[in-house]
Structure 1
Amino acid sequence: MERDPNAPALGNPDGNATLVEFFDYNCQFCRAMLPVVGALLDTDRSLRLVMREWPVFGEGSVFAARAALASRSQGRYPEFHRALLQQKARAEQASVLRTARSIGLDARQFQRDMDRPEVAQHIEQSNTLAAAMGLVGTPTFIAGADSRFGAVPLSELAGLVAAVRKS
């Protein structure tokens, strides 16, 4: 899970600690955690953040997850991920496509890439991992054998990462 080549990673790709986030673009708490996670990455330059697209809030969430994963082929995942979590509208096909255009994604390539096998594989694997671990919702943050669910303070996330480094 921490070194899955089919999972987008933010922060330091060679970081000495890994935090995994299971999230959904239509989750209000995931949206609220965007600046907290950003602050953690800004202050911890040795952290690798693995993103697990886990669309649990319906069809719009699935479309948004597929779109975000497709943006990797254009090297725009971090920017698109942030834009999707910052949009005020619910993530649905129309709002996701509007956001893709706003950051300059190539529309033809983007739509083709959404159907790539690795996109579906990532989402299927997220579902399988979440079920195996008994996750109850988004966001869920996992570091080592410990996890936190929901909107948590920066200090708690930093503590989770620090505990992994100690072990």
Structure 2
Amino acid sequence: MKFAPPTVLTALGALFTAATLAMPAQAFDLQDMSAAERDAFRAEIRTYLLENPEVIMEAVAVLEKRQAEEQARGDSDLVKANAGALFDDGHSWVGGNPEGDITLVEFMDYRCGYCKRAFPEVESLLETDGNIRLIVKEFPILGEQSVLASRFAIATLNVAGDEGYKQVHDALMTFRGDITEPALARLAEGFGLDADAIAAEMGSEAVTEVINKNRALGQRLNITGTPSFVMEDQMLRGYVPLDAMQQIVADIRG
């Protein structure tokens, strides 16, 4: 047996409620109806909906819009409550234009296919706009290789600074093989970085603390997947195409 989606069922319930409320109180009271009258009333509603099915879709559209607005308000409150950890945590890499008028925060995982897909589009957004500040949150949630890659990237930031981090971050975002310690060592050496120092830093408490703080922040923001973005006070959950990001930027600037 097939059941209607929850959104449709909710919309139907809203339609039923609206129909009852629209009628004069003295003319309509389900509790005062006989079983035959209730059956007749339900039959009338069913007939009307079958003859006018577009009403259901209109109700669904209104419901979805309201739910989206409620979600946006809730997300905005979450962003405001966690603004310090999001925009000025003292440990995340900052790129783009550090003085930009809009800040974009990205929670990413190096093993995430959609993160890899979003990578060149985020780069294009930064290059073509020129006035966006990017903050990268290492958020490894896809297994041991994800954690290893993030430990390597954070350790590189701690040992080699912003430039070294940018190099390995970009390389990891386009990396297609298994992420192993020997592969990471070769990657560091290829950029002329101190692979031994980075390897020693990878297991440090400082690196562990960054990952734990990012995970705790993600939990507070109800982030369960990557990529996830925060643009000013908006949460963008999931992959967002370049043109959509550009439109959001334009809307924010007004």
TM-score norm. by structure 2 comes to: 0.61
Q: In the alignment, is residue 86 of structure 1 matched against residue 174 of structure 2?
A: yes
Query: For structure 1, which segment, 1-10 or 101-110, has the greater mean C-alpha deviation from structure 2 after superposition?
Result: 101-110
Q: In the alignment, is residue 63 of structure 1 matched against residue 151 of structure 2?
A: no
3-state SS of the aligned residue for 2:95?
strand
How many equivalent pairs are there?
166
Cα distance, 1:59–1:18 mapped onto 2, change above 3 Å: same
Given the alignment, which residue of 219, 223, 226 partners 1:131?
219
> Which is greater in Rg?
2
- Greater share of helix residues, 1 or 2? 2
Query: What fraction of aligned residue pairs are identical, expressed as a percent?
Result: 35
Q: Specify every segment of 5 or more residues in structure 2 that has no aligned partner in the other structure, as ranges.
A: 1-85
Query: For structure 1, which segment, 19-28 or 122-131, has the greater mean C-alpha deviation from structure 2 after superposition?
Result: 122-131
Q: Which residue of 2 aligns with 1:74?
A: 160
Cα distance, 1:3–1:159 mapped onto 2, change above 3 Å: farther
Q: Which residue of 2 aligns with 1:50?
A: 135
Q: Which residue of 1 aligns with 2:192?
A: 104
Query: Does the Cα contact within 8 Å between 1:40 and 1:158 map onto a contact in 2?
Result: yes
> What do the CA deviations read for 1:39-95 (whole angstroms, capped 9, x no partner)?
011012111100000000111111100100111121301111000111111333343
Superposition RMSD in Å: 1.6
Shift in Å, 1:144:
2.4
Q: In the alignment, is residue 145 of structure 1 matched against residue 230 of structure 2?
A: no
Query: Does the Cα contact within 8 Å between 1:84 and 1:99 map onto a contact in 2?
Result: no
Q: Which residue of 1 aligns with 2:115?
A: 30
Counterpart-to-counterpart distance in 1, 2:188 and 2:250? 35
3-state SS of the aligned residue for 2:207?
helix
Counterpart-to-counterpart distance in 1, 2:183 and 2:238? 25
Q: Which residue of 2 aligns with 1:122?
A: 210
Shift in Å, 1:99:
2.0
Shift in Å, 1:2:
1.0
Q: Specify every segment of 5 or more residues in structure 1 that has no aligned partner in the other structure, as ranges.
A: none
TM-score norm. by structure 1 comes to: 0.91
Counterpart-to-counterpart distance in 2, 1:99 and 1:163? 40
Q: Which residue of 1 aligns with 2:99?
A: 14
- Greater share of strand residues, 1 or 2? 1
Q: Which residue of 2 aligns with 1:95?
A: 183
Shift in Å, 1:19:
0.4
